[in-house]
Chains A and B, each alone.
Chain A
């Protein structure tokens, strides 16, 4: 499988009044054609920042892509000129967000907003656009698409808006869809619809999907591969089966236990003590060490590098690495 997207050593820094924050540090990963990769982490893990950086959407200042290479279809995103970048954004790479109301402009009709993308990237005429919009809405399962196209975002329910966002993202048949918490704001039954939709469209168009989420249930149902992030760094990677059956990093293990509540009937859950560290007050050594039950003295001294503990299983944890060797 050839890689659609290759990210190497990506670092994003934010300059604030309280000092410089490494929001993303040394992040490397690749997404193959038609593959779904999940970027998993809690708030402050840098997962959303990383996603924004892929399209160079980090507000500068205060943010800055400090280092790294982002190769998309062989082209370095970081070296592109503005107009080339615009071609990629929304054309070859599309993005959907958690809150579709924020991403849709409330004063324009659905038709106009999707049509704009088509005009920009496909150069279609007015008639062709109107037809294509209805077609797209039908594709994402919006009932009565011709009427809906004439409506405004506030006329639609949350699930419908997310479908419209997906239609907009699909308008130019992108190679890669970045979905940042696409179902977090939705109800369970509607979430199931939207995940199902993304899955079927992916198969149909052969898109790759980068799914950013904190919900391990969503990951288990949709992703091929999982990247776990903590405090700006990748701490573990593997196929979905590997991560869920044989998590190696103590943080991943803790997250998984916390997500399988229904299996621990009556008994106490194993909890991860403490809280995610403040980016201004990062612990020395491994960022997870203050919360880790298995931490060794050297975990508090130096940052563990990513080392493959098994083929295709890089883990940034001294304990896991020792156990493997």
Chain B
């Protein structure tokens, strides 16, 4: 397996994805700005979390990275190879290095096939091994994810949500990938099942050194599982830092509001902390506001925010997309 530069397994460089919106005959073409210049580097064995609300572009990001949808601009570099413009044939061979686990295990497994063939498919496609060997590997994979090997003969509808998600993970593991993109892997599961799946993902990472790009809107979960966190808003990364420093302080007004809004399962803590309640909803990603994209909801906005769109810049140990972040006393406490 070829290695990436400096232990980087997956890199996004200035990824852009615009979707055209259906428009009338005489209206100018409009675009959904799903991603606007997203860059990050994922290191071997690390977990980078992407958090944000609906419409921030986090699921589009996953699809662009997997080339399930074609990015409008920018590059995707997997293990040192630029895969942005690879043809489907060449891409197919590299797919084994990057796998994806979807949110809804009810939709991500084909109901017509047995668990054995669902998990065995990647092996069949990427390695020429006899059927008996493949069955043995499938049994092994099922055991790895904590399922009885006898499940190979069952169909998805006979399994519970948690079991299905384990199957999806086994399938992703089948070809020993370096990266797994986890797109909200537990948000469709019951609370008491979520911990099982999260622990499984962590165990697998410790054992196999897989890097996770962990997409979620559950902030408590993200703080638990990730090494670094990227906060996205309307197609842009607004803050990216170590989870530890994020726990210590947040510099971008949106990250601050987002983390303060998340309910905490501790009545004392929720009574103590001050919640920043943002006004309004996330604006439509169709022709988003000019200047800083967060200015329409930002309690600290100033004239400059409308005129000039802030760049993602280094402030201390992190990257922040805000003109004022890092200035002493910003953001000032709200009255």
Interface residues of A (CB under 8 A from B): 42-43, 143, 157-160, 187-193, 195-196, 214-221, 240-241, 244, 251, 254-262, 264-265, 268-273, 275-276, 291
Contacts and interface: CB of A to CB of B under 8 A. Distances in A.
Interface stretch (B84-92, B111-119, B130-138, B256-264): B256-264
Contact of B196 (A218, A241, A273): A273
A227 to B, nearest CB: 16
Contact of B191 (A143, A187, A214, A268): A214
B277 interface: yes
B224 A258 contact: no
Contacts of B217: 187-188
Query: What are the 8 tightest A-B residue pairs by CB atom distance, in nearest-first order?
Result: A217-B263, A261-B224, A192-B261, A187-B53, A262-B223, A259-B265, A216-B265, A271-B195
A244 B265 contact: yes
Contacts of A221: 263-264, 267, 270
Nearest to A270: B195
Contacts, number: 128
A187 B58 CA distance: 14
A220 B195 contact: no
Contacts of B192: 42, 251, 254-255, 258, 271-272, 276, 291
A275 B162 contact: yes
Given A189-B53, A257-B195, A262-B223, A244 B277 contact: no
Interface in B88-132: none
Interface residues of B, number: 42
Contacts of B225: 261
B224 A217 contact: no
Contact of B54 (A187, A256, A260): A187
Output the residue of A190, A196, A241, A261 with the most chain B CB within 10 A.
A261
Contact of A275 (B193, B198, B266, B281): B193
B257 A189 contact: yes
A191 B266 contact: no
Nearest to A244: B267
B79 to A, nearest CB: 27
B191 A255 contact: yes
B59 interface: no
B155 interface: no
Interface string B283-327: 000000000000000000000000000000000000000000000
B221 A261 contact: yes
Interface in B215-243: 217-221, 223-225
B18 interface: no
Contacts of B245: none
Given A221-B270, A261-B224, A188 B262 contact: yes
Nearest to A197: B277
Contacts of B264: 217, 220-221
B282 interface: yes
B191 A42 contact: yes
A291 B192 CA distance: 10
B331 to A, nearest CB: 16
B163 A192 contact: no
Contacts of B161: 275
